[in-house]
Amino acid sequence: MTSITIDPSRSAGRFNHFWRASGFSPGQLLLEPEMRATLALVGATPGHGVEFLRPHYMLELVRATRTGHSLSYDWSLLDRAVDTMVEFGFRPFFELMGNPSGVFAGFTERNDILVWRDFVAELVRRFFERYGAEEVSKWYFETWNEPDLAWWKHGEDGFTNYYDACVAGIDAVDPTLRIGGPGTARTLSNMFKAFVAHCDSGTSCLTNDGPPRVDFISIHEKGVRMHLEDLTPDTVGICRREMLAVDYIRQHHPRLRNVPIINNECDPQVGWHDTHSWNATSYTPALMAKIIDQHQRLMIDEEKVPYDLLANDNGFLGTWGHRTQLTYFGPKSYTKAQSEWITDLSGLDAAQNVPLAFVKKPSLAIMELLGLLGQERLAVNADPILAPDDNGLGVIATRHDDGRLAVLIYNSVDAIRRSGETPIKLSLGKADGQYDYTVYQLAGDAAFAVWERLGAPASPTDEQLAQMRAAAEPVAIQSGVLESDLQLDLSIPLPSANLVLIEKRQQKASDAPVILSSERYTTPAGGTEMLLRWSSPASATAFTVSLSERREGPFQPHYQTLLAKAAIVPVDTKIKFATVTALTLSGQASEPALVEL
Ligand code: 8U8
């Protein structure tokens, strides 16, 4: 038995939710209906749990025409792609990556460098016009992805020239916008070293007045070595290798020591496209939670690293075993397009009503649990002392500014074949009144187990989809009222992630959700369903979605408790109306928001 004691009045400081990001390739996918549905679902994570999206090759969406010496650009496809991100509440982590109509030859000739600078300036000006300076100031601009691999063709000097042009282009519009890089794949690669040296003591080839600014330094470190069949991640190794970069900067470029650090591809395993069915289970999200906690403990707390953002590069489209947040069912195969970083966009508009269906994976559900954590971190004492990197059990205790408590408890070891249970006693002091609590859990194989039990259908029926989706949500394993001691006995499965929410009894129900949109999709089985999205005040922790044949009801619950602010509901000849109700932890329901399907 491990006793875990948390004093809600003892803050350990503000808690930056530094993991709110995902990525994928290529950016062209944003024009496809499958990615649109994906973003609608991922964007509904509570607490803006996935805020930044980092697609590769966005600039391939720009078409350029050369007339004499001047270039003109057609932005229409890029506009549509960025609009889709913004529509669903995302902020671009915008890689200045791609070659519009192949017009850019390189970054050696001064004229080519100037043309790229002007292109970047025009791009950013367009973003200002469309989304406003205030919104764009919250985005990140970054260099070409992984310039130390084959993605980049112009060498180290070409890269620093390119970076100078990117910075000068952005500065021409607004020198306060965030730009950085180099997003390198290999630990301390020559490209990484050349980039930081240039930003420390080089000279911008365009301004000749010293080095270009760098607002963050981004690197990629993942949990597994390169062999496809090496399934044992080395999660502490991610932080250890990131620290090599941090120490290198501290030692060789002390002027840059306070520049924020980002790992924007921090996946448990390299190779999004390799199918490992454990990606569909709770093994992956438990690892993700541990990796995030390791960054807090080992880098932010211990090494005082100005750690800014961590992204799992898991925004791709794929099936159960892929490193994605959702499982896709439908006729398309995206593996080739995503691997080759280019999508065939011909026929795009003709094919908007393609059959598709998505089921949430635990890797998205974990972002929901993490998104419900508070803004203040609380000190944790444990007996025996917690040693998550040895035995798997770890805790992130938090408080919201309004007093609600949220404690994440994970159990994860770097070994796929280990399982077990760890009993714990969680104590949060004395109750001064009535407190409501619920424990949400991600454990086991969730929707994937249902799919296997159904005979692993490649094209599930609508009824089968409903069964899988019901199993895809975090499970409320325990809830109730605490009146004297804020104390809970729990058994924490290995692997799992658990979120304990505790709050003082709220006297009133929260406001009704506000429906934001409803979109109709055709399922692979030919059925019709509606993707509903809503907003709601923070006092609501869960939502019930109910269906009826008539406006007046009666309404039957279809989803009892959802943490995300989106759901897919079936529409048939009979079901015509849905309601979304917000619930407080005590179970008080808001007024329903009604949608005609
Ligand atoms: C060959 C290789 C070595 C390496 O250390 O990292 C790589 C990363 C390598 C090849 C591609 C590569 O791409 C990144 O990682 C991918 C992945 O599947 O893990 C994708 O997540 C990324 O989009 C890509 O930038």
Q: Where are the domains of the chain?
A: 2-10+375-504, 515-596
Amino acid identity for residue 519 in this structure: E
Contact 355 CB / ligand 1 (< 6 Å): no
Show Cβ contacts of residue 411 under 8 Å, excluding neighbours closer than 6 positions: 286, 392, 393, 394, 420, 422, 492, 493, 494, 495, 496
Helix (H) or strand (E) holding 12: strand 2-14
The pLDDT assigned to 349 comes to: 60
Contact 171 CB / ligand 1 (< 6 Å): no
Contact 55, 27 (CB under 8 A): yes
Show Cβ contacts of residue 294 under 8 Å, excluding neighbours closer than 6 positions: 235, 236, 238, 239, 388, 389
Contact 177, 124 (CB under 8 A): yes
Same fold across 2-10+375-504 and 515-596: yes
Contact 310 CB / ligand 1 (< 6 Å): no
The pLDDT assigned to 350 comes to: 58
CA pseudo-torsion sign 440, 443, 448, 453: negative
The closest residue, in CA terms, to atom 17 on ligand 1 is 271
Q: Where are the alpha helices (DSSP H) in 60-176?
A: 76-87, 110-131, 133-136, 155-173
Nearest Cα neighbor of 284 from 125, 412, 476 is 412
Contact 576, 550 (CB under 8 A): yes
Contact 74, 63 (CB under 8 A): yes
Q: How many residues in total does the chain contain?
A: 597
Per-residue pLDDT of the chain (597 residues; tens, 9 = 90+): 999 999 999 999 999 999 999 999 999 999 999 999 999 999 999 999 999 999 999 999 999 999 887 899 999 999 999 999 999 999 999 999 999 999 999 999 999 999 999 999 999 999 999 999 999 999 999 999 999 999 999 999 999 999 999 999 999 999 999 999 999 999 999 999 999 999 999 999 999 899 999 999 999 999 987 688 888 899 999 999 999 999 999 999 999 999 999 999 999 999 999 999 999 999 999 999 999 999 999 999 999 999 999 999 999 999 999 999 999 999 988 888 888 777 666 666 656 689 999 999 999 999 999 999 999 999 999 999 999 999 999 999 999 999 999 999 999 999 999 999 999 999 999 999 999 999 999 999 999 999 999 999 999 999 999 999 999 999 999 999 999 999 999 999 999 999 999 999 988 888 999 999 999 999 999 999 999 999 998 779 999 999 999 999 999 999 999 999 999 999 988 999 999 999 999 999 999 999 999
CA of 274 to the centre of ligand 1 (A): 12
CA of 32 to the centre of ligand 1 (A): 23
3-class state of residue 245 by DSSP: helix
24 CA: nearest ligand 1 atom: 23
Nearest Cα neighbor of 179 from 105, 120, 114 is 120
CA of 199 to the centre of ligand 1 (A): 25
pTM of the complete model:
0.97
CA of 159 to the centre of ligand 1 (A): 19
To which CATH superfamily is domain 515-596 assigned?
Answer: Immunoglobulins (2.60.40.10)
Q: Which of 218, 266, 313 to mutate to test the pocket of ligand 1 (most atoms within 8 A of CB)?
A: 313
Q: Which residues pair with 593 in a beta bridge?
A: 580
Nearest Cα neighbor of 113 from 151, 164, 64, 155 is 164
For every residue of 337-393, DSSP letters joined together read HHHHT----TTTGGGTT---EEEE-HHHHHHHHHHT--SEEEEEEEESPP-HHHH-E
Residue bearing tokens 């900067």:
249
The closest residue, in CA terms, to atom 22 on ligand 1 is 313
3-class state of residue 467 by DSSP: helix
3-class state of residue 116 by DSSP: helix
The pLDDT assigned to 538 comes to: 78
Locate 252 and state its tokens.
């060789």
Q: Which CATH class is domain 2-10+375-504?
A: mainly beta
Q: Which of 95, 156, 265, 376 is catalytic?
A: 265
Nearest Cα neighbor of 11 from 297, 374, 376, 302 is 376
314 CA: nearest ligand 1 atom: 21
Helices 362-371 & 283-294 angle (0-180, nearest 10): 40
- Whether 265 is catalytic: yes
Contact 25 CB / ligand 1 (< 6 Å): yes
CA of 148 to the centre of ligand 1 (A): 11
Q: Which of 25, 95, 142, 149 to mutate to test the pocket of ligand 1 (most atoms within 8 A of CB)?
A: 149
Contact 221 CB / ligand 1 (< 6 Å): no
Contact 313 CB / ligand 1 (< 6 Å): yes
Nearest Cα neighbor of 317 from 587, 35, 40 is 35
- Determine the Cα–Cα distance for residues 264 and 23; give it in Å rounded to an integer: 8
Nearest Cα neighbor of 200 from 257, 244, 148, 146 is 257
Query: What radius of gyration, in Å, describes the C-alpha atoms of the chain?
Result: 24
